[in-house]
Structure 1
Amino acid sequence: MAKRTGQVRAITLKQVAEAAGVHASTVSRALNPATRSMVVPEVVDRVLAAANALGYRPNLLAAGLRTGRSHLIGALVPDIANTVFSPILSGASDRLASDGYSIVVADVGTNPARHLELANQLVARRIDGFILATVSRDDPVVDFCLDQHLPAVLVNRAEERRRISAVVSDDALGMQLAVDHLVELGHARIGHLAGPETISTGFLRRKGFYDALEVHGLPAGDYPCEAAAAYNREEGAKAARRLLDAAPGITAIVAANDLLALGAYDVAAERGLSVPGDLSIVGHNDMPLVDMVAPPLTTVRISHREIGRAAADLLLQQLTGGESSTRNVVLAPALIVRGSTAPPRAQSRLRNQQRGAG
């Protein structure tokens, strides 16, 4: 039989140990981020140098069979094109990588059945836990994780019953900052573009908007609200049209996220309204590039990267058995004032009212 050629024999831990002048068990600990602290730093450096020089690659399949861990984390996101999720995933990935874990990202859309289907597929591939950015206020994937005893953490959105740990922004404070800013500018007629009520951010930011009005002694009935069917620019525009048709005299809009705010920009342009001359607009999230639209968007900044890192911390605590109780981590947002907000002009109100009458 002809001898096969072109095959490269895998480098073993024993060979790395011989090159580094240490025992194979020391190599194993030095190459594993979770146990590296057990080895003297100088020895770690020597082992890593030897492994790199020899071209050593760990056998992840064999390690997974031995430990029962794949060191893979599944991340479910509703829309990978939404730039909100990039820094969340980046922060989580950086933190998980320091403990030897990698993220597998699934773009699941908005169909709950699809969420469960992809969660099952990831479990079949032996993922060790989930980071969920998809949850509704009462979510079937949470039921699935609890039934399967899978470690999981929610990011950006929370479940109403708080059965699983979550890392979120303070939605009530974010709305308070937005309303305070507009009231201080002199706006007396403010509308709200809400997110979907089935999602915690839509529900809580809408509640936060009306709570903020109450702080200022403003009657909620005088401040209109339209809910978008989804967090995207197109649905934001549809909701903004309904809002301006129902309340043509408003001088400002607080949107539940930046994409809805950009939809309001589109409708303002359609109707010949200037931003902020006729209509001030405040977004929520501070997505990348919203400082480059015309005018740059005033928005509530959320620390998305920190949300990802904090979620990874909570998940790692579950994976190592160090945390069993459910925790809800709430990070404080900040208002970023840019060019889309200004004091109302008296003629703006009159102009809006005249357009509505026409």
Structure 2
Amino acid sequence: MSAVQTPTLRDVADAAGVHPATASRALNPATRGLVNADTARRVIKVAESLGYRPNPIARGLKTAKSGTVGLVIPDLTNPLFPPIVRGIEAVLEPAGYSGLVVNTDNDPHREQAQIESLRSRQVEGFIVATALLDHPLLARLQQEGVVMVMVNRRPDGLDVPSITPDDATGIELAVQHLADLGHTRIAHLAGPANTSTGVVRARAFRNAVRDRGLDDDPSLLATCRYWTEDSGATALRTLLDAGAEFTAVVAGNDLIALGCYDVFAERSIECPRDISVVGFNDMPFLDKLRPPLTTVAVPHQQIGAEAARMLLDAIADPTRPSRSVLLPLSLVVRGSTAAPR
């Protein structure tokens, strides 16, 4: 029994009655606009009926373009990253690109190895969601002319396109909400001090407290080692064990806020009757908590989509000036906040 012959580009072109070069342009989203719309539709229909699959490697050899970009994620277990990746893919796919995702675990050595591996695969650019403030690797990549877009946070001193949530305004919304409820002593469980997000949100918290004439007490600030539930629980225990008095907590992110819930259960603290909590990110399932978590909502899918658009623009024209976009945030009020007793 003979093997089934895989249809070739020439088979598609012959069946559609066009030159192979025309068929190639029609089947590549990046060049489809060069072909008459009716012709392109006919070629695509014929390709589908024959079961033709374009070979991106062969195409890459001809065009020196791989049609792939690298997505560098610090922690795939953090629920905020999957919707960002979904947003990126939603924009890349129609443009004829696919993303290769790597997870760095916030480890600089692992990140360098992963990025070099992606570069050896000829990716055309990177979307980098790094957490680190100090980032010599990215500075080197920029000097080498690698096309990059920063997502969710931006290291200092790097002139690359970036799309970030408006963290400072988000924290202000949280503090204002608690102040309106009547809280005057509010604690902050800050994100790690070696991340730009942790630093920006902690600074915004101190400013928001001062601006509203609330108690600006350094003993109400604890810094978490990681953006995790365990770190949030450890930070809250530290404040409580030191005898700090407060009626509300603004957590650096939702995972840190979840750590507060663990401590409430351990110590028979009732939320929001004894202590109110506000998170940051609005990750999935927060409405299922008891009580449901009040949080600052970040449009993660929109962040991913905008990052992908910026990267495609930069790939098309590497000389265009880099732009930074701040996305507005909103407060989602649920059951974890109430007036102090």
TM-score (normalizing by structure 1): 0.92
- Deviations, residues 44-82 of structure 1 (Å, cap 9, x unaligned): 221111001111111211111111111111111111111
The residue number in structure 1 matching 2:33 is 37
The residue number in structure 1 matching 2:315 is 319
Gaps of 5+ in 2: none
Take 1:300 and 1:223, find their aligned partners in 2: how far apart are those partners?
24
Equivalent residues in 2 for 1:80-229 (5 A)? 80-221=76-217, 224-229=220-225
The correspondence for 1:293, drawn from 283, 289, 296, is: 289
How far is the alpha carbon of 1:327 from its aligned partner? 1.5
Contact 1:189–1:223 (CA under 8 A) maintained in structure 2: no
* Residue type of the alignment partner of 1:293: L
- Deviations, residues 85-110 of structure 1 (Å, cap 9, x unaligned): 01100000110111111011111102
- Deviations, residues 145-195 of structure 1 (Å, cap 9, x unaligned): 214321111111111113221110001100000000000000111000000
Q: 2:10 matched to 1:14?
A: yes
Q: 2:63 matched to 1:67?
A: yes
- Deviations, residues 255-301 of structure 1 (Å, cap 9, x unaligned): 11000000011111111101111010000000011111111100000
The correspondence for 1:245, drawn from 241, 247, 253, is: 241
Identity value in percent:
44
Contact 2:149–2:310 (CA under 8 A) maintained in structure 1: yes
How far is the alpha carbon of 1:322 from its aligned partner? 6.2
Contact 2:83–2:300 (CA under 8 A) maintained in structure 1: yes
The correspondence for 2:19, drawn from 19, 23, 36, is: 23
* Residue type of the alignment partner of 1:334: S
Take 1:148 and 1:11, find their aligned partners in 2: how far apart are those partners?
40
Q: 2:69 matched to 1:77?
A: no
Take 2:334 and 2:22, find their aligned partners in 1: how far apart are those partners?
55
**Two-structure CA RMSD over aligned residues (Å):** 1.5
Take 1:128 and 1:9, find their aligned partners in 2: how far apart are those partners?
32
Take 2:280 and 2:292, find their aligned partners in 1: how far apart are those partners?
13
Contact 2:139–2:158 (CA under 8 A) maintained in structure 1: no
Take 2:324 and 2:116, find their aligned partners in 1: how far apart are those partners?
25
Contact 1:224–1:247 (CA under 8 A) maintained in structure 2: no
TM-score (normalizing by structure 2): 0.96
* Residue type of the alignment partner of 1:270: E
Gaps of 5+ in 1: 346-358
Contact 2:92–2:308 (CA under 8 A) maintained in structure 1: yes
Contact 2:147–2:318 (CA under 8 A) maintained in structure 1: no
How far is the alpha carbon of 1:12 from its aligned partner? 2.0
Take 2:86 and 2:319, find their aligned partners in 1: how far apart are those partners?
23
